Amino acid sequence: MSDDAVFHVKPGFAADARVNAQRFGVMTNHALTNPDAYWLEQARRLDWERFPELASNSSFGDPDGRDMDGEEVRISWFSDGVLNASVNCLDRHLTEAGDRTALIWQGEAEDEVRHVSFRDLHAEVCRLANVLRSLGVKKGDRVATYLPMVVESVVAMLACARIGAVHVVMFAGFSASGVAGRLRDSGAILLITANEGLRGGKRLALKALADAALADATSAEAGGTAVRHVLVLRRTDADVPMQPGRDLDYASLVADASPVCAPEPMGAEDPLLILYTSGSTGAPKGVLHTTGGYLLWASLTHEMVFDHRPGDVFWCTADLGWVTGHSYVVYGPLANGGTTLLFEGTPSWPEPGRWWRLIDKHKVSAFYTAPTAIRALMREDPKWLAATTRDSLRVLGSVGEPINPEAWLWYYQAVGGERCPVVDTWWQTETGGLMIAPLPGATAQKPGSATLPLPGICPVLVDNEGRTLDGPAEGNLCIDRSWPGQARTIWGDHQRFHQTYFSTYPGRYFSGDGARRDADGYYWITGRVDDVINVSGHRIGSAEVEAALGTHRAVAESAVIGVPHAVKGQALAAFVILKPQRGGDPAPVSPLAAELARHVGQELGRFAAPDHVVIATDLPKTRSGKIMRRILRKIATGEHDQLGDVSTLADPSVVADLVEIVGRAPIVTQAG
């Protein structure tokens, strides 16, 4: 589809569309010309115990790269302000909207539904906050959660925020090893988990995995963990072992606690959360967000981009273990006094029409999901969509990866009936909230384009040497100015923060993504330019998967790449070199390949298991030993005639061997 294919929202979507467009222009100009005044004005959307007089005190370091070290990178917003995130999400709504539904919980079973008012959610949060305090949790301590998508997951986040503890939310799909690593790195002193979780008709043994993680984290080799207590929520009727003194029953403790808890005054720059995200090298990094700027950015972008109005029901399908769940299931909607839908199930269980039925059932106004899910559902029988009206919908959103034009059009036409704008959003864990996105009624849309930066966001494209590219161009996507939602550091490693985001192009934040800008100034995200692979919206570092493969007894070396996939966007393909056999016949290739994929799933979580494992005799390397992943990508996608000059490799014959091996078992990505 051409860049010129522009879609304007039909008349009637928003009577104030022209007003929205004018407001957007005014905000953008104000943010550029007088940023301090602009951001202090935006700060008034929150309730402060002490309103800030300072906006930003941020520096991306020396743009010339002279005498640069991690300490010169400084991100600071509203540093003299004092507030509490829990108060902003709950207390301030109690007087006028205490009985309004804050949270709709839809369990995996159709009849499992809870409507939780702001008043009731406030009481539950206070009870758990008091429990945490009674167990010795204080301001600045880290509390980890490993929970399914249940109301208590939201309660735990807000209870931590209320007492000033830093929450470390872990995706319930992580393996025991993944949980152990996050517990060790964060230094969490308390873990909240469940006996089991439910997903797609199956039970997840969360407590058993948590026990294994704690055993791993406390091993002599690991160096120990700080976890003193484990609160266990009973999601199902399954009995689980409870370690005396360490493991405590969630329900009984909360039942005896007071529903009143004084909030901890928090400086705007006090930590709120740590979220772990994959990088191109090393272990996952703990991205740290602080209280004031993050909450402001989540609240502001939720209102602007999803055209939030009083009475709206907002449904973001992301798991709470990812930043999308943090910002647009919890903090953004609740700070704005909106109703947020929390769904425990999956899009296609027990049938592919589940999501569409729930939109009608709960009268969802704005729906925000990933292109992977959209592509999967558009392949299903149209009868599932036709059985619903979805007439409550006003805005559709896309998140996690670039959406292809075909999926965009189906989403716009079939799901939204050509009356709901599609807000295709670009942002990252490190940005805290949306960065480039259309505003409903204000921005003409182009299928596949994230469109324009939000007010106050200054994207720039640079070439590989860091030279600024003006006008229509394609290059590396950087941001020139700080914004309130920006991550402050990597937990315990500010030097890595500098190295990862600010050393490649000094003086600028480097996103790690490539992008194209068209003649209208619209941005088209072209994907990662490093070794992070986007699988179904999950950022997975190739180094992480290679490290997991390396723990298998048969693996000597591996290289992991991303290949195109019709549904997931990208899939993982691993090229593996085996250790020399020590007697006996070598294992058959196919069973071993499947075993290696399962092994990665056990080490990192099923979402990180490679779709393809190629058992090879060697890898293409330069004479200095660097693996040429570019060549592996060409071989994997059948582009054998576009390999370029391979004569400089240490052993050029490796390429022909790999082409022959892949030819016997082609890496063909399939949907489903």
Which CATH number goes with the domain that contains 631? 3.30.300.30
Q: Nearest-CA neighbor of 609 among 566, 556, 560?
A: 560
C-alpha–C-alpha distance, residues 85 and 168, integer Å: 16
C-alpha–C-alpha distance, residues 605 and 610, integer Å: 11
Tokens representing 455 are 């007010």
Residue 120's SS3 state is helix
Backbone φ and ψ for 85, nearest 5 degrees, come out as -65, -40
Structural domain includes residue 310: yes
Helix 151-163 vs helix 118-134: crossing angle, to nearest 10: 60
Q: Which domain holds residue 57?
A: 17-82+425-528
Structural domain includes residue 572: yes
Count of domains observed in the chain? 3
- The reported pLDDT for the residue numbered 129 is 98
Q: Cβ neighbours of residue 462 under 8 Å, at least 6 residues apart?
A: 468, 469, 475, 476, 478, 505, 508
- DSSP H helices, 72-197, are 85-89, 94-97, 118-134, 151-163, 176-186
Whether residues 491 and 550 share a domain: the answer is no
User: Quick one: 196 exposed, middle or buried, by C-beta within 10 A (0-12, 13-18, 19+)?
Assistant: buried
Structural domain includes residue 362: no
Whether residues 442 and 568 share a domain: the answer is no
Whether residues 206 and 308 share a domain: the answer is yes
Q: Are strands 422-424 and 395-398 parallel, antiparallel or unpaired?
A: parallel
C-alpha–C-alpha distance, residues 178 and 9, integer Å: 44
18, containing H or E segment = helix 17-33
Which amino acid is located at 561 in the chain? I
The separation between the first and the last C-alpha atoms of the chain, rounded to the nearest angstrom, is 25
Whether residues 334 and 253 share a domain: the answer is yes
Cα–Cα distances in Å, from 429 out to 69, 276, 426, 639, 644? 23, 9, 11, 33, 35
Whether residues 56 and 125 share a domain: the answer is no
Instruction: Write down which residue in 471, 501, 528 finishes a domain.
Output: 528
Q: What pTM was computed for the model?
A: 0.85
Residue 230's SS3 state is strand
What is the domain-level CATH number for residue 176?
Answer: 3.40.50.12780
CB 545 within 8 A of CB 552: no
Q: Which residues pair with 198 in a beta bridge?
A: 203
Tokens representing 612 are 């393809």
Whether residues 164 and 29 share a domain: the answer is no
Residue 618 CB neighbour total at 10 angstroms: 15
Q: Report, as ranges of residue numbers, the positions in the chain whose pLDDT lies below 70.
A: 1-19, 64-71, 219-224, 279-282, 581-590, 622-626, 644-649, 665, 668-672
Maximum CA extent, the chain: 77
- The reported pLDDT for the residue numbered 663 is 80
C-alpha–C-alpha distance, residues 176 and 193, integer Å: 12
- The reported pLDDT for the residue numbered 151 is 98
What is the domain-level CATH number for residue 522?
Answer: 2.30.38.10
Whether residues 524 and 539 share a domain: the answer is no
Whether residues 118 and 174 share a domain: the answer is yes
CB 546 within 8 A of CB 538: no
DSSP string, 598-656: HHHHHHH-GGGS-SEEEEES---BBTT--B-HHHHHHHHTT-GGG----TTBS-THHHH
Whether residues 49 and 96 share a domain: the answer is no
C-alpha–C-alpha distance, residues 142 and 209, integer Å: 20
Q: Nearest-CA neighbor of 548 among 594, 493, 491, 610?
A: 610
Whether residues 64 and 208 share a domain: the answer is no
Q: Using the Cα atoms of residue 8, residue 339, residue 407 and residue 613 in order, give the sign of their dihedral.
A: positive
Instruction: Write down which residue in 331, 346, 361 finishes a domain.
Output: 346
Q: Cβ neighbours of residue 420 under 8 Å, at least 6 residues apart?
A: 13, 393, 394, 395, 396, 412
Whether residues 110 and 199 share a domain: the answer is yes
Residue 37 CB neighbour total at 10 angstroms: 12
Structural domain includes residue 628: yes
Structural domain includes residue 292: yes
Instruction: Write down which residue in 346, 371, 390 finishes a domain.
Output: 346
Whether residues 545 and 466 share a domain: the answer is no
C-alpha–C-alpha distance, residues 365 and 362, integer Å: 9
Structural domain includes residue 390: no
Structural domain includes residue 1: no
Q: Nearest-CA neighbor of 159 among 121, 123, 126, 194?
A: 126
Residue 149's SS3 state is coil
Tokens representing 257 are 């606690």
CB 182 within 8 A of CB 124: no
- The reported pLDDT for the residue numbered 64 is 66
Structural domain includes residue 352: no
The torsion defined by the Cα of 276, 568, 150 and 365, in degrees rounded to 10, comes to 110
Residue 247 CB neighbour total at 10 angstroms: 19
